[in-house]
Each structure stands twice: as structure tokens, then as C-alpha cells.
């Protein structure tokens, strides 16, 4: 169905369900009607995911949705929003979107794989590694305010000489390994896809990686709804006693109940998380009270330049769709044959 020049799409516009932290001028100047279902800028407070019924009610009549992970865009949402034709996802992951249904209905989904995100997230991952090794979970302002000083039970460690296990060797996993290459570490990598490993990287199966690594870092997509965590009780038990775990990927990759037990018992020496399940975590979540945990609020990619680049890419993708074109970041090309619009 050709929609080039169809101003009706511009007028029916886009419903934005997450803060953009970037002005809307570019879209508005081009005649796009924008409805904000969230504050334009983040507030510093966690936002619970929008209920399906609320999303359906407020986004009704719009032809596009734009946001990050502030709502689950389910089959039910797509069935109820009969005008929906485009979904713009800030960031790379699309696990909050029922991709099979989107493709079936002919709803194009475009993400924003900005190159800067790789560097920003890789740096955050390294920071969390160093934070655990240097015991920044223990030595902090609160410790000093209480009169604390150097404690013989909490000496710092070093990356040098350690074995680091990188689970997932996509862009971010590769960027982490590249940064570690000159630190005097042994790097083990596991990925489901075959690849030619760079010099200094050993490709192993997941069980060997868990058994031999002093620190494990996760860089794979989240598991599908209803599927068990990648690091379930059995897999977590394979990790070396005293090992560390870093997760900047997705919260549902780890069985957190088992992890809490292992952290409290000392089986694992520490963990650092930028992602949680559910997200945001409850303030009373035991994981946040573990003494050997460092946690950040899913902000590995919280960078001003990156946010601006992702917003602009989403705007450009949306405008291309409104003009009847195919965006360069289309995630589901099979949607072009979807049934809803007779493409």
C-alpha cells in the first residue's frame, strides 16, 4: 500500500511512551503530530511500565509508537491499535515487542543501533569490573563517614592475571574484549554464532567458560518470555568459588534468587548489575542490600550525545516510514508482506 505523500499519516502521528531527553522540533517542523505519553525529559525517578490497557487507550488513533522499554507492545496491543503501522524502538533490543505479531500484522519495527552505544556500554562494563575488583562496593563515602578506613578483610584485587569470560561476542562483547586485551588477562569467549576469534581470545563452550573464569560478563540478548534464565541455578553453580559476575545486558539472563544465596554464602565474591528483572527493581529487593553488589539504574548507555543520536535516528526512521519508504534500521523486513495493510 503506497503512502508516499499521504499527509494523513503525519496528522495521525506518533505516540511517545518514554522520555526522549531531546527536543521534538525536527519532527514538528516536518508536520508530524507528536503526542507525549511521558515527560519529555527523564525525572530521575523510576517509571513502572505502562499498563497494556493504558497504552491502548492513549495511543488509539496513532499510526506509530516511539519509546524504549517503558511498555510491553504485545499482540493484544497490536490487535487493539488497528491503526498502528510503525514502532520506533530507542536502543537495540526489541524484547519488549512481540516481533512475530508485528511481522504478521505488517507493522514495521525500526531500532536505533548507534555506533557510540558500543563504546559507552563497553566502558561502563569495564568500570563495573574494576569497581568490584577494587572493592568499591565496600569502600565508599558511607564507609568513610562512619569512620572506616582500610579493612584487612576487604583488600582490592586486580584484573592482571585474571581469566575473564565474555558471554556473547557481538559488537559490545568484542569492544569489551578489545579493551581488556592489553590488561594482561586471559579472555574466554562463548557465542552461539561461529566467528573467527581475534588474537588473544579463546573460544570455549559456556560450561568451560563458567568453570574457568574469575569474572564473567554478559553481552547477549535477554531470554524469551517464559524461558529459563541463561544462568540458571545449575549454570551459576558451575562458576568458580569467589568469582565475580557483571551484567550490562538484560536482567532475565540470571536467576537472581540463586544468585542472592550464592552472594550471601560467599560462593560468589560479588556481582555488578546495570539491568534487573523486573525493572526497575523493588526498593526492598534483597539484591540491593547485598554487601558485595554494585548496582546502577540501567544507565550504561545514559550518555547525552548517545541519547541525542538515538532520538534523531528514530525521528529519521519515522519520517522515512511516513513518506512510504523503508528505514535503514528495519528489524523485521518480513513485515513488508504483513497482512494488515496488504503490502
Task: Tell me the C-alpha to C-alpha distance, in Å, between residue 206 and each of 188, 223, 236.
Answer: 9, 16, 11
Distances from the Cα of 268 to the Cα of 8, 27, 71, 114, 142, angstroms? 57, 49, 33, 34, 24
Burial of 92 (0-12, 13-18, 19+ CB in 10 A): buried
List the one residue out of 146, 129, 126 whose CA is nearest residue 137.
Answer: 129
Question: CA–CA separation, 205 vs 289, rounded Å?
Answer: 33
Contact 219, 168 (CB under 8 A): yes
Contacts for 198 with CB less than 8 Å, ≥ 6 apart: 174, 177, 178, 181
Mapped onto helix, strand or coil, the DSSP state of residue 105 is: helix
Is residue 279 part of the annotated active site? The answer reads: yes
The conformation of residue 221, written as its DSSP 8-state character, comes to: P
SS3 assignment, position 301? coil
Catalytic residue among 279, 286, 323, 334: 279
DSSP secondary structure string for all residues of 232-246: -HHHHHTSPTTEEEE
- Options 62, 162, 174, 250, the catalytic residue: 250
* Strands 215-218 and 268-273, sheet pairing: unpaired
Annotated active-site residue 33? The verdict is no
**Beta-bridge mates of residue 16:** 36, 66
Question: Measuring CA to CA, how many Å separate 122 from each of 174, 299, 343?
Answer: 9, 12, 40
Q: Is 298 a catalytic residue?
A: yes
Task: Select which of 190, 298, 307, 316 is catalytic.
Answer: 298
* Cα 26 from Cα 12, distance rounded (Å): 17
Catalytic residues: 250, 279, 298
Amino acid at each position: 500500500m503506497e503512502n508516499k505523500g499521504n499527509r494523513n499519516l503525519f496528522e495521525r502521528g506518533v505516540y511517545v511512551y518514554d522520555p526522549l531527553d531531546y527536543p521534538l522540533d525536527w519532527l514538528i517542523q516536518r508536520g508530524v503530530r507528536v503526542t507525549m505519553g511521558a515527560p519529555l525529559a527523564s525525572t530521575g525517578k523510576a517509571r513502572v511500565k505502562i499498563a497494556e490497557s493504558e497504552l491502548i487507550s492513549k495511543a488509539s488513533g496513532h499510526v506509530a509508537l516511539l519509546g524504549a522499554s517503558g511498555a510491553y507492545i504485545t499482540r493484544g496491543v497490536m490487535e487493539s491499535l488497528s491503526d498502528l503501522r510503525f514502532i520506533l524502538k530507542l536502543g537495540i533490543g526489541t524484547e519488549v515487542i512481540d516481533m512475530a505479531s508485528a511481522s504478521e500484522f505488517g507493522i514495521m519495527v525500526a531500532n536505533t543501533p548507534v555506533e557510540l552505544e558500543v563504546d559507552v556500554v563497553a566502558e561502563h562494563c569495564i568500570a563495573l569490573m574494576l569497581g568490584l575488583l577494587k572493592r568499591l562496593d565496600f569502600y565508599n563515602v558511607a564507609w568513610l563517614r562512619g569512620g572506616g578506613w582500610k579493612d584487612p578483610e576487604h583488600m582490592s584485587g586486580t584484573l592482571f592475571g585474571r581469566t575473564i569470560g565474555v558471554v556473547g561476542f557481538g559488537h559490545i562483547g568484542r569492544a569489551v574484549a578489545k579493551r581488556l586485551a592489553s590488561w594482561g588477562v586471559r579472555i574466554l569467549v562463548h557465542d552461539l554464532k561461529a566467528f573467527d576469534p581475534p588474537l588473544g581470545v579463546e573460544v570455549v563452550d559456556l560450561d568451560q567458560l563458567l568453570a574457568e573464569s574469575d569474572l564473567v560478563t554478559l553481552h547477549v540478548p535477554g531470554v524469551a518470555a517464559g524461558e529459563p534464565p541463561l544462568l540458571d541455578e545449575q549454570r551459576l553453580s558451575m562458576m568458580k568459588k569467589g568469582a565475580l559476575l557483571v551484567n550490562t545486558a538484560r536482567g532475565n539472563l540470571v536467576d537472581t534468587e540463586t544468585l542472592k544465596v550464592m552472594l550471601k554464602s560467599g560462593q560468589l565474591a560479588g556481582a555488578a548489575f546495570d539491568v534487573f528483572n523486573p525493572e526497575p527493581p523493588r526498593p526492598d529487593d534483597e539484591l540491593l542490600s547485598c554487601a558485595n553488589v554494585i548496582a546502577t539504574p540501567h544507565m550504561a548507555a545514559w550518555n547525552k550525545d548517545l541519547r541525542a543520536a538515538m532520538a534523531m535516528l528514530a525521528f529519521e526512521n519515522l519520517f522515512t516510514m511516513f513518506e512510504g519508504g523503508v528505514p535503514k534500521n528495519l528489524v523485521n523486513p518480513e513485515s513488508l508482506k504483513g497482512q494488515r495493510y496488504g503490502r
